[in-house]
Chain A
Amino acid sequence: MYNVLEAENVCKSYLNKRALQGANLTIQQGKILGLLGPNGSGKTTFLKIAAGILHPSSGKLLIDGQEPGVYTKSIVSYLPDTEYLFKWMKIKDAVQYFKDFYTDFDEKKAFALLEFMKLDANSSVKSLSKGMKEKLKLTLVLSRKAKLYILDEPLGGVDPTAREKILDAIINNFSEDSSMIITTHLVNDIERIFDDVAFISDGEIVLQGNAEELRLNKNKSIDELYREVFQ
C-alpha cells in the first residue's frame, strides 16, 4: 500500500501570519482521513496546497509522487468550501463542464447521484439553497474516479437529514483504489467513516493515527478526543 499524499514540513506564511508551520502528513491508498481542527488551524490552507491552488512557502507536498500541478489536478477531486460554480449554469451544464474537463468523470454516475440527492438537472445553480449547492458540488466531485478526493467541510451549512444523505453518498461512492481527506467541525456526525484522523492546531499536526486505535487507546470517541485536544 503506497502513500497517495505525502507532506513533509509544509509551511505557508502570509505577510503577518503563519498558516502552516511544518505540517507532516501522509495518506495511504484506500484510506479516509479526517483532518480535524478549530477555525484558523490551517486545515483549508493544507487542502488548498494539496489541490494546487495555493503554493507552500517551504516544505514538500507530493501527490502520487508529484508536486501539485497539471498532473495532480487530473487525479485529485477537490470540493472547496466556496460557491465556485458559474451562476449562469443549470445543473446539467455543471455536469457537462466536469465531463468536458475531467477524463475520469462518469456522467452516468453523476445523474444517478443527482437522482439520489433529489436534484433536478434542469434547475439553475443560482436558484439552489446552500444545502442543495453542497449536494451538487459533492455529486460532481464524487462522480470522478479520482485517486484522491479532498473534501473541505462537505457538511458545512447542511441540515441533519441532508448530512446523512451526503455521508451515505460519500461511503457508497468511495472505492478502495482511492483515498480521501475530509475536514469538518461536525466530528460527531462524520467520525464513523474515518479510517485515520489527524488533529491540526496552529498549522501543525499535533496528533495523527488510526481512528479505531485512538478510540481504543484513549477509550474515547474521536469527537471526545477532539474536544479534549482543542478545549
Chain B
Amino acid sequence: MFHLIKYELRGKLLTILGICLSVIIGNLFLMTKVESWQIGVPVLSGFLGGAALVVIGISSLTLMSDYLYEDQGYLLFTLPQSGTSIMASRLIAAVIQISLVALVSAAMFGVLDQGRLFNAIFNQVELHELVYSILLHLWTIVSTLTFMYFCMVVGRIALKGKKIGKIGSFVIFVLLSIAKAGLAVGISSSFPQMVQIHSVTTMTMNVGSMIFDIVTFGILFMATSYLLEHKVDL
C-alpha cells in the first residue's frame, strides 16, 4: 500500500506544487496591499486558501476517477493489490495532499496576519482541543471522500459509458446525500444525547449521528473496496 501512496503522490506532485506556489505567490502579492486594502487582505487570503482547497479536493476525486475511466486503470487493477489497499491508498494520498495545501494556506495566512489569529486561538484552546480539531479535519476528508468514491464506483459499474457514468455517479451522490442527511436527522432526533467537545466554541455533537457517521463510513469503505476488487470492469 505504501507504494500505491508513493506513486499517487508522485503523480500529483506538479498539481500540489502548483497549488502551493499559487497560494504563496497570491499571499505575497496581498502582503504588498496591506496598507491600501487593510481588512480586505486577510479576507482575500482566506478566500485564496479556500479556493486552493477546492482545487486540491477536485484533484483528490481524480485519484479514483482517472483509474475508473482512463487507461491507467489497466496499470492499477492488474496489480496484485486488494480492493482495501487500493481504497485506503487513495484516501491516505488524498489526506496528505489536502493537508499539505491546508498547511501552506494556513501558514501564509499566519504570516500575512502576523500571527494574530493563531495567537488568539493558541491562547484560548487546550492542546487536546487542538488535537481533536486536527482529527476532525482528517475525519471530514476521509468520510467525505469515501462517500464520493463509493458513488463514483457504483456509477462506473452501473453505467458503462464514461459520460453517462460520471453523470450517473453525480445523481447517485445527490440521492444518497439526501437519504443520508434524512437518516442522520431522524437518528439525532430519536437519540438527542449530546456531548460537548470544544470549550471555547461550546461545540457539541450528537452521539447518535456520530455513531451513524462512523458506521456509514465503515460500510461504504468495505463496499467500495469489494466493488473495486470484484465488480469493476475495464
| Chain A positions near chain B (C-beta within 8 angstroms) | 14-15, 48, 51-55, 69-71, 73-74, 76, 78, 80, 82-86, 88, 97, 100-102
B26 within 8 A of A: no
What count of chain B residues pass the 8 Å CB interface test? 25
CB pair B73–A53 under 8 Å, yes or no, is yes
Contacts of B72 in A (CB 8 A): 84, 86
Which among A15, A54, A76, A100 is the interface contact of B233 at CB below 8 angstroms?
A54
B10 within 8 A of A: yes
B64 CB, min distance to chain A CBs, angstroms: 16
Contact of A101 with B74 at beta-carbon distance under 8 Å, contacts A14-B160, A53-B233, A54-B234 already known:
no
B82 within 8 A of A: yes
9 pairs across A/B with beta carbons < 8 Å? A55-B233, A70-B82, A71-B80, A73-B79, A82-B71, A83-B71, A86-B11, A88-B13, A102-B80
Which among B10, B78, B230, B232 is the interface contact of A78 at CB below 8 angstroms?
B78
A224 CB, min distance to chain B CBs, angstroms: 34
Contacts of A69 in B (CB 8 A): 229
Contacts of A97 in B (CB 8 A): 7, 75
CB pair B10–A70 under 8 Å, yes or no, is no
Contacts of B233 in A (CB 8 A): 53-55
Contacts of B75 in A (CB 8 A): 84-86, 97
Contact of A70 with B7 at beta-carbon distance under 8 Å, contacts A55-B230, A83-B71 already known:
no
DSSP majority for the A interface?
loop
Contacts of A102 in B (CB 8 A): 80
A122, B52: Cα distance in complex, Å: 33
Contacts of A78 in B (CB 8 A): 74, 78
B14 within 8 A of A: yes
CB pair B14–A53 under 8 Å, yes or no, is no
Contacts of A82 in B (CB 8 A): 71, 74
CB pair A88–B80 under 8 Å, yes or no, is no
B71 CB, min distance to chain A CBs, angstroms: 4
Q: Which residues of B89-110 are within 8 A (CB) of A?
A: none
CB pair A88–B14 under 8 Å, yes or no, is yes
B229 CB, min distance to chain A CBs, angstroms: 7
CB pair A70–B229 under 8 Å, yes or no, is yes
Contacts of A88 in B (CB 8 A): 10-11, 13-14
A69, B81: Cα distance in complex, Å: 9
Q: Which residues of B198-234 are within 8 A (CB) of A?
A: 229-234
A102, B82: Cα distance in complex, Å: 14
A131, B70: Cα distance in complex, Å: 21
CB pair B3–A101 under 8 Å, yes or no, is yes
Contacts of A52 in B (CB 8 A): 77-78
